Amino acid sequence: MRYLNRNSLTVIFCALMFSILSGCSGKNDSPLYLESNRKGGTADAPVKDVPTDILATQKAFSNISKKVTPCVVNISTISRKKLVQPFFEMNPLFEDFFGAPQTRRDKSLGSGFLISKDGYIVTNDHVVRDAESVQVKLSNDKVYDAKVVGGDAKSDIAVIKINVTDLPVAVLGDSDKLDVGQWAIAIGNPFGLDRTMTVGVISATGRSNMGIETYENFIQTDASINPGNSGGPLLNVYGEVIGINTAIVAAGQGLGFAIPINMAKPIFSQLIQKGSVSRGYMGVTIQPMTEDLANSFGLKSTRGALVNDVLKGSPADKAGIKQGDVITALNGAEVKDPAQLQRQVAEAGIGKTVKVTVIRDGKAVELGMVLGNADSAPKKQREAGGGRQHGGEGDRLGLVVEESGLDEGVVVADVVRGGPAAEAGLRSGDLIISINRKRISNVAEYDRALGSSRSGNLTILVRRGNASIYFALRVK
């Protein structure tokens, strides 16, 4: 048998490798990846016929980003906050032994948008509140120091300014014409990520009673809003600013809230002009109309604001508004609830004459009123009634009352647990002023009023501290 030597094996191996490599380089080999022919490759796009409306929408969003992003700024602040020492802080000798309280420097981020070529910027008040220093970064990455022109905590709106000219300016839209389902675009600085754009829809308008600010009329959107978006613009498909992104619900997704731009305009205009905000004032305390209260007042709707007290000498007092009136319209605009009336009066203007429509004894009455200045309104302290609820005998309302020692009303001495009064929210220490809108001065008048009342809804006016409150009780 003949054996191949080492040199022969080497030659054979090289020949085989050459043959294999030659086969791999053939023209029919598959490429490593496919590249679209829209970029010069040979492969067709997976979807050839994209609907024109989708392409148009995509183009519209891109155009909004290009046009509006230069108007959006990133805001960074540094503030100094006191470190809390719970155990020692209440001791008056703490500073004598340990010196001044320690503080820490906090950094925060937010957004804003330019409203003038000379550097006025609108943002949220909570973004710049208590800031020692404020810096603004423009879309061209230039950074400038800014000063706070003014802030309004009640609406969470602030204005800051940088000393730069010839700046791009945002265009303000009309937030009163928004419909649920319209596109909503947010641009801002979430988590420090510059010039982030998110898209969603208008989820709702007129959101109030959220417990976020004093004056609330929020636009709700599912466009993603995250920490750092605060103060940035909410836009429509025209690139117009329709709101100021303000708050999110941390426990939910797609729940963002923006201040309507029409509500914001008079506020930041005042901040620029004088550094503060003044609001109109009526001089009434009001409460919502519940279904039970509406029935007891003989009304078919729960819309409106129930006047539970009128301050003497106030614009409302001079105009003839009375306790028990239900305010249903201001200057012809319907009043849905107390929060809306509060906003309407605040925005109407100091010294302006307004027409107030009230329901009194089942009839509509129109009154003229000159609004005062809320800054000069007397401060009323609202104290809760004292005492505690416990078991005991009571009348058909579940109350034990006694003489007040005053010229009006009776004092609630006890509230029977589980009775109609307890369920409605009456407390020991409350002063009952009237029953079914009839004034009472003593226990005898209280007993007569209660004895003559029929089964069903009963309306009781209570004074608790300095506040007057109507209650609707269901009695048998």
Q: What is the SS3 assignment for 158?
A: strand
The whole-chain average pLDDT of the chain stands at 83
344-385 confidence digits (pLDDT tens): 898 888 888 999 999 998 889 999 999 998 877 765 433 333
The residue ranges of every structural domain in the chain are 52-86+102-277, 280-376, 399-475
Query: So what's the pLDDT on residue 93?
Result: 53
**Of residues 17 and 449, which shows the higher confidence score?**
449
Token pair 């027409």 is found at 355
By C-alpha distance, which of 331, 369, 291, 296 is closest to 340?
Answer: 331
The upper half-sphere exposure of residue 71, i.e. CA atoms within 13 Å in the direction of its Cβ, equals 27
- Asked whether the predicted pLDDT for residue 316 surpasses 70, the reply is yes
Calpha distance 34→284 (Å, rounded) = 73
147-186 confidence digits (pLDDT tens): 999 999 889 999 999 999 999 999 999 999 999 999 999 9
Question: How much of the chain exceeds pLDDT 90, in percent?
Answer: 37
**Of residues 430 and 214, which shows the higher confidence score?**
430
Q: What is the mean pLDDT of residues 236-260?
A: 87
By C-alpha distance, which of 195, 190, 438 is closest to 323?
Answer: 438
Residue type, 424: A
Query: So what's the pLDDT on residue 37?
Result: 83
Q: What is the mean pLDDT of residues 282-290?
A: 86
388-408 confidence digits (pLDDT tens): 333 345 788 888 888 877 778
By C-alpha distance, which of 179, 208, 156, 201 is closest to 336?
Answer: 208
| CA distance readout (Å), 258 to 212, 279, 309, 348 | 11, 21, 33, 21
**Of residues 269 and 437, which shows the higher confidence score?**
269
1-30 confidence digits (pLDDT tens): 455 555 555 555 555 555 555 554 555 567
By C-alpha distance, which of 151, 86, 146 is closest to 119?
Answer: 146
What is the DSSP annotation of 113-152?
A: EE-STT-EEEE-HHHHTTEEEEEEE-TTS-EEEEEEEEEE
DSSP H helices, 79-124, are: 94-98
Question: How much of the chain exceeds pLDDT 70, in percent?
Answer: 83
Query: So what's the pLDDT on residue 182?
Result: 95
What is the CATH architecture assignment of 399-475?
A: Roll (2.30)
What class does CATH assign to 52-86+102-277?
mainly beta
Q: What is the DSSP letter of 275?
A: S
- Paired tokens of 265: 């305009």
User: Looking at the DSSP assignment, which residues form a beta bridge with residue 123?
Assistant: 158
8 A C-beta contact, residue 119 and residue 71: no
268 pLDDT band (50/70/90 cuts)?
very high
- Asked whether the predicted pLDDT for residue 103 surpasses 70, the reply is no
How far the first Cα of the chain sits from its last, in Å, is 122
82-86, 310-314, 462-466, 471-475: least confidently modelled range: 82-86
Neighbours of 365 (CB within 10 A): 14
Please, what is the angle between helix 261-274 and helix 338-348, to 10°? Answer: 40
Query: So what's the pLDDT on residue 83?
Result: 53
Q: What is the SS3 assignment for 408?
A: coil
Calpha distance 310→22 (Å, rounded) = 99
Q: What is the mean pLDDT of residues 123-145?
A: 92
Q: What is the SS3 assignment for 345?
A: helix
Residue type, 167: L
438 pLDDT band (50/70/90 cuts)?
confident
Q: What is the CA radius of gyration of the chain?
A: 34
8 A C-beta contact, residue 48 and residue 170: no
- Asked whether the predicted pLDDT for residue 273 surpasses 80, the reply is yes
What is the DSSP annotation of 203-238?
A: EEEEE---SS-SS--EEEE-S---TT-TTPEEE-TT
Calpha distance 248→302 (Å, rounded) = 29
244 pLDDT band (50/70/90 cuts)?
very high
216-243 confidence digits (pLDDT tens): 889 999 998 888 889 999 999 999 999 9
Same fold, 52-86+102-277 and 280-376: no
Give the helix/strand (H/E) hosting 452: helix 443-452
Query: So what's the pLDDT on residue 391?
Result: 39
- Asked whether the predicted pLDDT for residue 122 surpasses 90, the reply is yes
In this prediction the pTM is: 0.69
Residues with catalytic annotation?
Answer: 126, 156, 230
- Asked whether the predicted pLDDT for residue 461 surpasses 80, the reply is yes
Q: How many residues does the chain have?
A: 476
Give the helix/strand (H/E) hosting 23: helix 6-24
Q: What is the mean pLDDT of residues 284-305?
A: 86
Calpha distance 41→36 (Å, rounded) = 5
36-80 confidence digits (pLDDT tens): 888 888 888 888 888 999 999 999 999 999 999 999 999 999 876
8 A C-beta contact, residue 160 and residue 121: yes
Query: So what's the pLDDT on residue 384?
Result: 34
CATH 3.30.300.90 fits 280-376, yes or no: no
Query: So what's the pLDDT on residue 5?
Result: 58
